[in-house]
């Protein structure tokens, strides 16, 4: 019997419509955060990106999309470029418990395969812990946790760096690729007059870069903008290309890991 193709957001469904999806669908959970993303991107950038990729995936596999987990775990300041207003986070224990409970509820509805689309770095370890605990309780459950940046592809990222002249070491939080994604996904939310690069206490050289955690963050490691480190080469075209690349690689991974249950017929 062929599977029914499902591509629905739960917030648009009444209970009887949702009930009809359960036998043929995966659950997709978008996960984001509320935190600063430079002067040019919205605080909810991570959630916007996760919801976008969740919708793109659901166009190609039988799935229903849960409302997003919009509050994430604290991201270290050196990854945000410093301490800026607008970070609304929850503790790791609260976040883990929330995701565990959500996975249990999904399982209780009969859905065994869950795809968690995450766009916030600080969430990663806690998502894995929640999924591991869920799998320990329900060995027949399968959970994929994926961050979009992990499936762009090395060759693609290297080619993009060569094309734009923006080295990969300069392209992190709120920088070229992430900014380009928002320019493509939600251009109306982007403050185009605020695009810039990192600047900091080291005149002409930007902030001092470290590869470890230091509390408190040294003043000369902070940026003035929260861009880590270059956004000036961002374009909507780059965003569209990255979106196409990520979606393809995500769907390929889902087909590979979930087999027939990840295919649309």
Domain residue ranges in the chain: 7-262
Q: Which helix (H) or strand (E) holds 91?
A: none
Start-to-end C-alpha separation, the chain: 10
At 211 the pLDDT is: 86
88/105 Cα distance (integer angstroms): 25
At 264 the pLDDT is: 47
Tell me the pLDDT of the chain averaged across its residues: 91
Share of the chain above pLDDT 70, in %: 92
At 2 the pLDDT is: 37
Task: Indicate whether 78 pLDDT > 90.
Answer: no
161/218 Cα distance (integer angstroms): 29
Task: Indicate whether 6 pLDDT > 50.
Answer: no
34/70 Cα distance (integer angstroms): 7
Task: Indicate whether 183 pLDDT > 90.
Answer: yes
Identify the CATH assignment for 7-262 out of 2.60.40.2230, 3.60.21.10, 3.40.50.300, 3.40.50.10310.
Answer: 3.40.50.10310
Give tens-digit pLDDT for 223-240: 999 999 999 999 999 999
Give tens-digit pLDDT for 116-149: 999 999 999 999 999 999 999 999 999 999 999 9
3-state secondary structure of 116: strand
Sheet holding 7-9, edge to edge: 7-9, 63-65, 26-31, 113-118, 142-147
pTM of the predicted model, to two decimals? Answer: 0.92
């Amino acid at each position: 019997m062929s599977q029914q193709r499902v591509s629905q957001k739960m917030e648009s469904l009444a209970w009887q419509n949702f009930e009809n999806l359960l036998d043929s669908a995966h659950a997709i959970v978008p996960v984001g955060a509320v935190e600063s993303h430079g002067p040019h991107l919205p605080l909810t950038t991570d959630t916007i990106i996760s919801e976008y990729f969740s919708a793109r995936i659901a166009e190609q596999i039988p799935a229903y999309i849960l409302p997003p987990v919009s509050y994430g775990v604290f991201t270290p300041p050196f990854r945000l470029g410093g301490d800026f207003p607008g970070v609304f986070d929850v503790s790791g224990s609260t976040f883990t418990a929330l995701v565990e409970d959500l996975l249990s509820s999904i399982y209780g509805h009969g859905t065994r395969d869950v795809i968690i689309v995450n766009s916030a770095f600080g969430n990663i370890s806690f998502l894995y812990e929640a999924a591991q605990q869920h799998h320990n309780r329900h060995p027949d459950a399968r959970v994929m946790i994926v961050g979009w940046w992990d499936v762009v592809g090395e060759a693609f990222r290297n080619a993009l760096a060569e094309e734009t002249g923006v080295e990969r070491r300069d392209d992190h939080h709120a920088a070229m690729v992430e900014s380009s994604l928002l320019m493509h996904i939600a251009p109306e939310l982007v403050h185009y007059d605020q695009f810039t690069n990192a600047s900091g206490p080291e005149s002409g050289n930007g902030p001092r870069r470290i590869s470890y955690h230091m509390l408190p963050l040294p003043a000369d490691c902070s940026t003035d903008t929260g861009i880590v480190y270059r956004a000036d080469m961002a374009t909507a075209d780059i965003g569209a290309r990255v979106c196409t690349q990520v979606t393809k690689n995500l769907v390929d991974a889902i087909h590979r890991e979930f087999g027939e249950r990840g295919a649309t017929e």
